[in-house]
């Protein structure tokens, strides 16, 4: 294996960036703006629960939330290195960024597991 | 009375001053003059002590790269008329140590260039009797763009990552490595990947993209590095799934 | 690279400028780059909101209604407005840069950049429509 963990982390970054680029605008527009502002009718609790009962929907939600967190971890890590010249804090930054993404992923798995 | 234009030129005379200063010169404005012509006018007519590098005057040798109004440029390729009404700020290339005036030390770049083995690596030479190594136009096309580099180092002067992380191999060298990786005659991709997977290699790049914007030969080093990353990641997963496969 | 350039490091007379921490304020395109990188913070923010939504969904109708009410507060509306702009910026820069990284060759010829970018936008459109259909059809 060449390159340590970099190729793996970069792949997660890229996959997460693609998921976020493709799917976040529409989800954010609906959930964050159109539903609260009453532009469109929000789906009811029941219909959403019906929707997430399907295993494929759960897989979708896992990918939707987890991968973009790793995208953030990787990108934000380098933003701190380059944008604020904080490379000397690298060990701490790595733990906070990827640790945060791992924690978020664990919470997604836990939440999805416990959905009725 | 002929028109003139002002050039603010960075000076650094290590035997006299501790840090660079700015000197302004008034030169004739001529529509067909490039910035390098104005510098040569200064050198010949106004101040023989000004130091700068140049050679071919036609965008081939890559030695007259300087920072013009904050942008890395080949001074033989930008006209005075591009910067009307002036003044035009001429400084040495960013991120390289300044030796004198507009002359920078490029040994770091030369060392990095060698490190990526920018030559065709063969496992075994064919005997002469078997003829030449042939290549189709399509095969040539895969790497031709990356082979146009003239080593002018504008991309290094544009790359903040190189400035922040002097160990970074940098755009031109990686693009050149990719040029040989993509060459159908070459067999050195693995050797180069081993080198460029280390610290300072392809994974240090965060795709600022400036290297591609400033390249006078449209080499697109940023593209070369991202494509290299994609190939590197694919290789990583392959070696994970098939650890016994040929390394 | 492992070995540094040893013989140039301590040359006494050469002048070296330190890169300022604020280098990215010195040029428009650098600032744009940092802005692009900072979109990741907003991406993470919305991922966390989605996680919260999922949690509320599992807690039952009451908790979910409470969550939806919270999204109506001016604070969240403002946050989501800003986040939406940044996430859009992420999508557009991501799709526009995709052709530089992804090289596709068809019959020996490189597929032009605008085709690759166009495909990205097309997939974006289809995916968005599918999500909207799933959430709005009831």
What does the alpha-carbon distance between residue B214 and residue B67 come to, in Å, rounded to a whole number?
11
Residue C1, pLDDT above cutoff 70? no
The nearest CA of chain B is from the CA of A7 a distance in Å of 5
Q: What is the mean pLDDT of residues B197-217?
A: 95
Which positions in chain A touch B236 (Cβ < 8 Å)? 1-3, 7-8, 11
Distance from CA of C87 to the nearest CA of B (A): 18
Please compute the mean of the pLDDT values over residues C11-37 and round it to a whole number. Answer: 91
Any idea which of A88-97, C36-45, C129-138 has the lowest mean pLDDT?
A: C129-138
- Fold of domain B107-241: Fumarate Reductase Iron-sulfur Protein; Chain B, domain 2 (1.10.1060)
Instruction: Measure in Å the smallest separation between the Cα of A108 and chain B Cα atoms.
Output: 25
CB pair distance less than 8 Å for B141 and C26 = no
Asked if residue B140 has pLDDT above 50, the reply is yes
Structure confidence by residue, pLDDT tens digits, B104-128: 999 999 999 999 999 999 998 889 9
Residue C2 has pLDDT above 70, yes or no: no
Contact at CB, C135 and A72, closer than 8 angstroms: no
Q: What is the CATH number of the domain that holds A65?
A: 1.20.1300.10
Q: Which CATH number applies to C1-86?
A: 1.20.1300.10
Residues of chain C neighbouring A116 (CB-CB closer than 8 A) = 58
Write down the domain spans for chain B: 4-104, 107-241
Question: CB–CB of C101 and B209 under 8 A?
Answer: no
* Digit-coded pLDDT (tens) for C28-62: 999 999 999 999 999 999 999 999 999 999 999 99
Cβ–Cβ pairs < 8 A, chains B and C: 88
Nearest to B233 among A10, A82, A87 (CB): A10
Yes or no, beta carbons of A45 and C131 under 8 Å apart: no
Residues facing residue B22 across a β-bridge: B10
Q: Which residue, among A82, A103, A81, has the nearest Cα to A90 in the 3D structure? A: A81
pLDDT of residue C17 exceeding 90: no
pLDDT in tens, B69-80: 999 999 999 999
3-state secondary structure B190-231: HHHHHHHCCCCCHHHCCCCCHHHHHCCCCCCHHHHHHHHHHH
For C121, the 3-state DSSP assignment is helix
In a domain, A73, yes or no: yes
Q: How confident is the model at residue C10 (pLDDT cuts 50, 70, 90)?
A: low
Chain C, residues 86-115, CB within 8 A of chain A, namely: 87-88, 90-91, 94-95
Decide: C136 and A40 in contact? Cβ < 8 Å: yes
Q: Residue B91 phi/psi, 5° resolution?
A: -130, 165
Indicate the CATH number of B4-104 among 3.40.30.10, 3.10.20.30, 3.90.78.10, 2.40.30.10: 3.10.20.30
B109 contacts in C (CB within 8 Å)? none
CB contact C49 to A (< 8 Å): yes
Whether residue A3 and residue B201 make contact (CB cut-off 8 A), yes or no, is yes
A50 occurs within a structural domain: yes
pLDDT band at A100 (very low <50, low <70, confident <90, very high): very high
Choose the closest CB to C132 out of A16, A26, A41: A26
Of C14, C24, C102, the CB nearest to B99: C14
Which run of H or of E encompasses C100?
A: helix C74-101
For residue A93, being part of any structural domain is answered with yes
CB-based burial of residue B207 (10 Å sphere; 0-12 exposed, 13-18 middle, 19+ buried)? Answer: buried
pLDDT tens, B2-47? Answer: 699 999 999 999 988 999 999 999 999 999 999 999 999 999 999 9
Residue among C11, C102, C108 minimizing CB distance to B97:
C11
Query: What are the structural domain ranges in chain C?
Result: 1-86, 102-138
Is A7 close to B232, i.e. CB distance below 8 A?
yes
pLDDT tens digits, residue range A18-59? 999 999 999 999 999 999 999 999 999 999 999 999 999 999
Q: Which one, of B67, B159, B169, lies nearest residue C33 by Cα? A: B159
Lowest mean pLDDT segment, chosen from A74-78, A85-89, B241-245, C89-93: B241-245
Is residue B203 pLDDT above 60, yes or no? yes
How many Å lie between the alpha carbon of C121 and the closest alpha carbon of chain B?
20
Our count of domains for chain A comes to 1
Range of A67's domain? 6-114
Task: Tell me: pLDDT of B247 over 70.
Answer: no
Mean pLDDT of chain C: 91
% of residues, chain B, pLDDT over 70? 98
Is C43 in contact with A51 (Cβ distance < 8 A)?
A: no
Residue A1 lies in a domain: no
pLDDT (tens digit per residue) in A49-86: 999 999 999 999 999 999 999 999 999 999 999 999 99
How would residue A91 be classed by pLDDT, with cut points 50, 70 and 90?
very high
């Amino acid at each position: 294996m060449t390159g340590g963990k970099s190729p793996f982390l970069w792949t997660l970054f890229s996959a997460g960036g693609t998921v976020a680029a493709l799917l976040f605008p529409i989800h954010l527009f609906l959930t964050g703006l159109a539903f609260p502002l009453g532009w469109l009718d929000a789906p009811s609790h029941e219909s959403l629960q019906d929707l997430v009962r399907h295993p494929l929907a759960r897989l979708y939600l896992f990918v939707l939330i987890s991968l973009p967190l790793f995208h953030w971890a990787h990108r934000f890590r380098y933003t701190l290195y380059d944008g604020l010249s904080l490379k000397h804090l690298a060990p701490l930054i790595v733990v906070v960024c990827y640790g945060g993404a791992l924690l978020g992923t664990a919470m997604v798995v836990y939440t999805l597991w416990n959905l009725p | 009375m002929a028109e003139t234009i002002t050039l603010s030129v960075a000076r650094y005379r290590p035997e006299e001053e501790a840090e660079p200063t700015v000197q302004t010169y008034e030169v004739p404005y001529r529509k067909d003059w490039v910035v390098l012509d104005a510098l040569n006018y200064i050198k010949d007519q106004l101040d023989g002590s000004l130091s700068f590098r140049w050679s071919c005057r036609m965008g081939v040798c890559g030695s007259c790269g300087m920072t013009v109004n904050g942008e890395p440029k080949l001074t033989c390729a930008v006209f005075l008329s591009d910067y009307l009404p002036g003044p035009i700020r001429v400084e040495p290339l960013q991120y390289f140590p300044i030796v004198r005036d507009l002359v920078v030390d490029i040994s770091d770049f030369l060392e990095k260039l060698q490190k990526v083995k920018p030559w065709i690596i063969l496992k075994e030479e064919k005997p002469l009797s078997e003829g030449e190594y042939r290549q189709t136009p399509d095969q040539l096309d895969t790497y031709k763009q990356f082979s146009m580099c003239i080593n002018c180092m504008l991309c290094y002067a544009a790359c903040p990552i190189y400035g922040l992380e002097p160990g970074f191999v940098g755009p031109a060298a990686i693009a050149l490595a990719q040029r040989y990786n993509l060459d159908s005659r070459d067999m050195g991709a693995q050797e180069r990947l081993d080198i460029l997977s280390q610290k300072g290699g392809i994974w240090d790049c965060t795709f600022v993209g400036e290297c591609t914007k400033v390249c006078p030969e449209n080499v697109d080093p940023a593209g070369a590095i991202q494509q290299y990353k994609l190939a590197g990641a694919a290789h990583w997963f392959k070696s994970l799934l098939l650890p016994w496969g040929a390394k | 690279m492992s070995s540094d350039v040893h013989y140039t490091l301590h040359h006494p007379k050469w002048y070296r400028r330190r890169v300022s921490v604020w280098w990215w304020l010195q040029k428009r395109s650098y600032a744009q780059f940092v802005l692009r990188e900072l979109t990741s913070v907003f991406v993470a923010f919305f991922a966390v909101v989605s996680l919260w939504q999922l949690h509320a969904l599992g807690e039952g109708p009451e908790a979910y209604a409470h969550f939806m009410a919270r999204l109506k507060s001016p604070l969240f509306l403002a946050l989501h407005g800003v986040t939406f702009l940044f996430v859009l910026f992420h999508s557009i820069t991501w799709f526009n840069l995709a052709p530089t990284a992804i090289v596709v060759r068809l019959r020996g010829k490189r597929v032009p950049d605008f085709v690759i970018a166009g495909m990205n936008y097309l997939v974006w459109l289809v995916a968005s429509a599918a999500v909207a259909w799933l959430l709005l059809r009831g």
